[in-house]
Amino acid sequence: MDTDFGQKILYIKQWLGTGSINVFGLPMSGKDTVGMRLAEAIGGKFLSSGLIIRANEELTRQHYTDKGDMAPTDVFMKWVLPYFDKPELKDFPLVLSSIGRWSGEEDAVMDKAEQSGHPIKAAVILNVSEADVLNRWQSVSVLKDRGHRIDDEKPEVFQNRIDEFRRKTAPVLLHYRALGLLIEVNGDAERDVVFAELINKIYQFAVNHASTSQ
């Protein structure tokens, strides 16, 4: 990592404080991979709505997402939003992976994040085409390197996950864009290239917002 890149990460960390960055993308766009790497780089904590919901489905034996559907909003609110209040997260910035991905959930997420001391300061969309994520799904189906996930097993189920994103999450991104919080990153590249663009764009976003707030 070059010095300039390290300085940009430090600037992002200082600008973010205990705030949050919410990362979105199609299934298999790499949002969890990128999000965890970003959280590690800035000394933050990572929260994924998908991981939280799947863990609770396993625990309660209630299955909402097996066919590629998103969990109902009331279930999302009950299972995911309380994580913002966890004491072990209090003093850290958060990187969120699709927290509030169904249109209509975003305001409740932003309010909860604000109340818990983790205001959402930016949202990121990893732009990857539907054709590319389908190719990634096919590769994963052969390699079996994502662990056991029912919603990855059948092509029609994975396609439904894509359709759900188009119908329900795309409007969420429009909401963040209207608030001036959306950062677009090309997710169709090598992981290091994607991460470098992510850092550069968040850094520039932070600089611009810091200058306008003065």
The answer to whether 128 touches 30, Cβ cutoff 8 Å, is: yes
On whether residue 214 sits in a domain, the answer given is no
Q: Pick from 112, 60, 57, 56: which is nearest to 89 by CA?
A: 112
Q: Which domain holds residue 101?
A: 3-207
On whether residue 212 sits in a domain, the answer given is no
CATH number, residue 52? 3.40.50.300
- Tens digit of each residue's pLDDT (9 = 90 or more) over 43-95: 999 999 999 999 999 999 999 998 999 999 999 999 999 999 999 999 999 99
On whether residue 187 sits in a domain, the answer given is yes
Token code pair at residue 214: 């003065």
On whether residue 165 sits in a domain, the answer given is yes
- Tens digit of each residue's pLDDT (9 = 90 or more) over 135-165: 988 887 655 554 445 556 688 999 999 999 9
On whether residue 7 sits in a domain, the answer given is yes
On whether residue 97 sits in a domain, the answer given is yes
| Domain count across the chain | 1
pTM of the model: 0.91
Q: Is 194 helix (H, G, I), strand (E, B) or coil?
A: helix
